[in-house]
């Protein structure tokens, strides 16, 4: 397997509008387990998001762009509640299949909407933080340009885009570690394709150069996090 370059021609099974709906729903539900194990959002919450929200000293609003099955948004909502922060969470995704799963995770402080960042930006809504998980590696050049511009325009504060970091160790460990969870899902095939499409930290720094003030860190093994400042 050649992982020296991003394989941008790969497409994930779950992105096919005609994919098996049962397998898709199971994939989205089991992302909760996968993301808890490998996504590093606990660290991102402690080091980046919680301090930014706590400094506001008022109720906050956070937007999750491309929220998929909603597990990351719901987990962060629980962490905010645990830490005594008053936060309203909005997850957006244009895919009604993902939205149906996300709405299974409903909470009073959590809302999922069928829309995208461009439409939300045009509506005039603004947030105290904007986040995403596993979105960057899906995007081609024109889509990335719009996504970054939208996320900066929608946030009055921090912008956090988290993703996988491509590498041989990440590929090998995921290929073996996902086996107990893969039955009836797209987790193994799509996860490995995602790794092959994803950025290395230096590539992401280069890609984001000139698109605002960003710095790229590694919050956990095999993870990259682009940290930016909103312009709203």
Domain that holds residue 40: 13-229
Residue 111 has pLDDT above 90, yes or no: yes
| CATH number of the domain residue 52 falls in | 3.40.50.150
Average pLDDT over residues 196-221: 95
What is the C-alpha to C-alpha distance for residues 142 and 126, in angstroms, rounded to an integer?
Answer: 23
Average pLDDT over residues 77-92: 98
Average pLDDT over residues 145-158: 97
Share of the chain above pLDDT 70, in %: 100
Per the prediction, the chain carries an average pLDDT of: 96
Number of domains in the chain: 1
51 part of a folded domain: yes
Residue 57 has pLDDT above 90, yes or no: no
5 part of a folded domain: no
155-206 pLDDT, tens digit each: 999 999 999 999 999 999 999 999 999 999 999 999 999 999 999 999 999 9
Average pLDDT over residues 123-143: 95
Residue 1 has pLDDT above 80, yes or no: no
3 part of a folded domain: no
1 part of a folded domain: no
pTM of the model: 0.96
143 part of a folded domain: yes
Residue 141 has pLDDT above 90, yes or no: no
Residue 212 has pLDDT above 90, yes or no: no
6 part of a folded domain: no
């Amino acid at each position: 397997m050649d992982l020296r370059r991003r394989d941008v021609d790969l497409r994930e099974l779950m992105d096919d509008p005609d994919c098996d709906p049962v397998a898709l729903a199971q994939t989205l539900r089991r992302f909760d387990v996968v993301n808890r194990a490998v996504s590093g959002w606990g660290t991102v919450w402690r080091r980046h998001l919680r301090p930014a929200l706590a400094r506001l000293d008022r109720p906050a609003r956070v937007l999750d762009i491309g929220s998929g099955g909603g597990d990351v948004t719901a987990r962060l909502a629980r962490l905010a509640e645990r830490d005594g922060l008053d936060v309203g969470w909005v997850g957006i995704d244009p895919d009604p299949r993902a939205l149906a799963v996300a709405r299974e995770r409903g909470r009073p402080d959590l809302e999922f909407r069928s829309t995208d960042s461009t439409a939300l930006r045009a509506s005039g809504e603004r947030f105290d933080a904007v986040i995403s998980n596993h979105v960057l590696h899906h995007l081609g050049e024109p889509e990335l340009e719009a996504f970054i511009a939208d996320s900066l325009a929608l946030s009055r504060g921090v912008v956090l885009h988290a993703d996988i970091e491509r590498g041989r160790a990440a590929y090998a460990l995921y290929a073996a570690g996902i086996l107990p969870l893969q039955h009836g899902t797209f987790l193994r095939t799509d996860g490995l394709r995602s790794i092959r499409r994803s950025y290395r930290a230096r590539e992401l720094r280069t890609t984001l150069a000139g698109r605002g003030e960003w710095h790229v860190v590694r919050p956990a093994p095999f993870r990259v996090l682009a940290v930016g400042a909103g312009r709203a």
